[in-house]
Structures are given as C-alpha cells and as structure tokens.
Amino acid sequence: MIEFVQKREVLVKKDIDWLAVTALVTAMLVWASSFIALKSAIGPLGPMSVIFGRMFVASLCFVYFIKSFTKLKFNKDDIKYIVLMVFFEPCLYFIFEAKALQYTSAGQAGMITSMMPLITAVAAGIILKELITKRLIVGALLAVGGAVWLSLVTSSSENASNPLLGNTLEFFAMVCGAGYAITIRHLSEKFSALFLTAIQSFAGAIFFFPFAVWEYNNIGFTFDLDAMIWTVYLGVVVTLGGYGMFNFALGRIEASKAAVYINLIPIFALLLAFFVLGEKLGFIELVASAVILSGVFISQMPTERLKQAHIRRKARKQQ
C-alpha cells in the first residue's frame, strides 16, 4: 500500500499539464465562435436543421475511421456511459442551445456558460470522488461572479427577442454539459477522443434528422450560402476540432478543473462578437473579463500538498 501511495504521489507532482491547458483554451475559443455561427445560420435555416447539418458534416469526417472503430470492445458499463454521454450531449444540450439562440444574443448565451463549472465541480466530487479544493471553489466563484457581472453590464442585441427565456434555456444546456463532462471523463480512460467525438457526431446526426425533416415540412427554410458555410464550419471546426480537443484534455485533467475553462467562453464570445458582428466592447466589459480570467488562474494554481493528503486519506481507508 505504501508503494501505491508513493506512485500516486509521483503522478500528481506535475500540477499543470500544459498540453491539456492548450487544448482546453483552443477548444473554448472554437466553442465561443459557435455562438456566432449558430446565430448566423439559424435565421435562414432553422435551429434543428442547422444542428442536423452540423452533425451530418462532422459524421462525414469520421467515415474513414469506422472500420477501426468496429475493432473496439465494449462491456455493459461502456454502453451505459456512451448512451448517457450522447443523451446529455449532443441531444439535449443542442436542443436547449439551439432554442436559446432564437431568443437571446450570441454574446449573452456565451456568458451563461460560466455556470457550468460549479455544477460540474460538485458532480465530479460526488460521482468521480475528485478532490474539490478551496482554491477551486474560490476560483470558480470568482469566475462565475465575473461572468454574471459581464452579463449584467452588456446590452442585449437587436436579435434578442426574449433574453431571459433564452438565457434560461442556455442554463439548462449547461446542466446537460456538466453531465456530459462527467460521463466523458469516465469513458476517456478507455476510449480515444477520436472515437468519442465520432460517436457524438453519428448519434447527433441520427437524432436530429427527424427534427430537421419536420422543420423543413412545417416551417421551411432558405438555402442561404452564408448559412451553409456557417453550418459546415460548425460541423468541421467546432464539432470535430472543439470536441476533439476537449475530449483529449479530459483524458489528462480532472473534469472539475477542465470545466472551469468554460468561463473563458464569455470572454472569447464577447471579443468575437466585437470583431465579427461589430458589437461594442467597453471598459467595464474588459474589467469583468479580467475577473473571469483571474478566477480561472486561481483554480489552476498548484495544489500538490492537498492532493497528496487526499491520496493518503484514501489509502488509509483502503487498508
């Protein structure tokens, strides 16, 4: 048992995995751009049609790998967690998010994503038995506080017909995102990020297909070139790139810590909205963004001693 504890202590000495951090930051930037892409595409095409197109395009990128996926072995627990993963995201998550963007602005929706870390941190502590440190809690609270402040001082766009309803729907999407982060953390111990991202894409395309057909027959949509380009971008860059990097990072870092990076999305979304959509970025918004960054930084500060103490306590309980 002593040897086991010593081995575990060696593994936690490297407190910051910079490869995982880089993957997470890039994934957050890509995901932030999805709010602008979705908002731009949903008008001409309709929400469910855009999500189906996104998943279908992403699925095409994985067709080449299907043969290698058939060689993988699954047990009952694997199937259970895969079903849960798909149920949380893309299915429920994108239903809530697509509907949210019909009522709120891209920037506001991006800001609501800051609520996910606290939900994920609590769930990871209960389900995965991950260590929840005081620094993690303080950092997450600070980041959420900054995001709420950012949301309050930012004006709604002309396209936000009902921001309260839209932001509420986006909150429900974050609850689903937390469930997704927990299940993917378990699955990433056995399966590659490539496979998990492919499963999400195939399942999403199948799930949203009947919704898209119904939408086309009952509502109709316009084949707008810009909307089509945004949909392809969502399928290739956001789904394939963003989820691939996030799933890769979750194989190297705790779910509770990885979720804190979600707080970067409001900043990136605000900046992209400024450069792409021409929305104003004032001094107060910049200060609020700095508060969010501070929260993310505090949550990632080294906690080696606390981790070692946590490992020793678990080892003593196992004796």
**Domain membership flag for residue 75:** no
With respect to residue 261, please indicate whether it lies within any of the assigned structural domains.
Answer: yes
For residue 112, give the nearest of 183, 192, 31 by alpha carbon.
Answer: 31
* Dihedral (Cα; 229, 96, 240, 73), 10-degree rounding: -150
Our count of domains for the chain comes to 1
pLDDT of amino acid 283:
80
Query: Nearest CA to 233 among 111, 28, 67, 53?
Result: 53
H helix runs in the chain, sequence order: 2-11, 18-45, 47-62, 66-69, 76-86, 93-100, 106-112, 116-123, 134-153, 163-187, 193-218, 225-233, 243-250, 255-260, 264-272, 283-299, 304-318
In a domain, 257, yes or no: yes
Domain that holds residue 117: 31-68+98-318
What is residue 13's predicted lDDT score, i.e. its pLDDT?
Answer: 43
Q: CA 11: distance to chain centroid?
A: 26
- In whole angstroms, what is the distance from residue 273 CA to residue 105 CA? 10
Tell me if 1 is assigned to some domain. Answer: no
Neighbours of 238 (CB within 10 A): 22
Burial of 318 (0-12, 13-18, 19+ CB in 10 A): exposed
DSSP 148-166: HHHHHHSPPPTT-S-HHHH
Tell me the Ramachandran region of residue 129: left when phi exceeds 0, alpha when psi lies from -120 to 50, beta otherwise: left
pLDDT at 201: 92
**What's the rounded Cα separation, in Å, for the pair 261 and 160?**
26
Burial class (CB in 10 A: 0-12, 13-18, 19+), 179: buried
20 belongs to a structural domain: no
- Please give the structure tokens belonging to residue 192: 């590659």
Q: Give the model's pLDDT for residue 271.
A: 83
- Is residue 119 included in any domain, yes or no? yes
- 227 with 44: CB under 8 angstroms? yes
CA dihedral 300, 195, 267, 254 (to 10 degrees): -20
Question: Does residue 46 lie in a domain region?
Answer: yes
- Judge whether 18 lies within some domain: no
Residue 221's SS3 state is coil
Per-residue pLDDT tens listing for the chain (319 residues): 444 344 444 444 456 788 989 999 999 999 899 888 988 888 778 889 999 999 999 999 899 889 889 888 889 888 999 999 999 999 999 999 988 888 877 777 777 777 777 677 767 777 767 777 777 778 778 877 877 777 676 666 565 677 778 878 888 998 898 889 888 878 888 888 889 889 999 999 999 999 999 988 887 677 788 889 999 999 999 888 887 888 888 888 877 778 778 778 888 887 887 788 776 667 877 787 788 778 777 776 655 544 555 555 555 555 5
- State residue 260's pLDDT score: 76
Angle ∠(84,230,183) on CA atoms, nearest 5:
15
